[in-house]
Amino acid sequence: MTTTTKPSAIGQPLDRVDGRPKVTGGAHYSTEIPLPDTAYAYVVGSRIAAGRVTGIDTSAATAEEGVLAVLTHENLPRIAEQPPLVPSLAGKAAPGQTYFPMQD
């Protein structure tokens, strides 16, 4: 009697059409496609690990060419209600929960 084995991907090298471009830096991703009138956001954190924020001076950032807005807790519109008892109050969101860094 003859036994046949099904082909298995486990332990076998597989050719990926996009494998070589991805590992050599030649692949193009959708986020790299320039779109007209695109605005970018950058979140800037404190440079001091354990300190107290007594004020935020946004004048240097606002003065930069191309800056559309500098958002802080003082001028950001409320975009969502923070759920009660959220661990993000301690600085981290629990798995499956949303972290609201700009809410007070």
DSSP for the chain? ---------TTS----TTHHHHHHT----GGGS--TT---------SSSS--------HHHHHSTT------TTTPPP-SPPPTT-GGGGT-PPTT----TT--
Q: What is the mean pLDDT of residues 73-99?
A: 65
In the prediction, which pLDDT does 16 show?
83
The predicted-structure confidence for 17-73, as pLDDT tens digits, reads as follows 888 899 999 998 888 888 898 888 888 888 888 888 888 999 999 999 999 999 988
pLDDT of residue 68: 94
Lowest-confidence segment of 19-23, 44-48, 75-79, 83-87 by average pLDDT: 83-87
pLDDT score, position 104? 47
The whole-number pLDDT of residue 62 equals 95
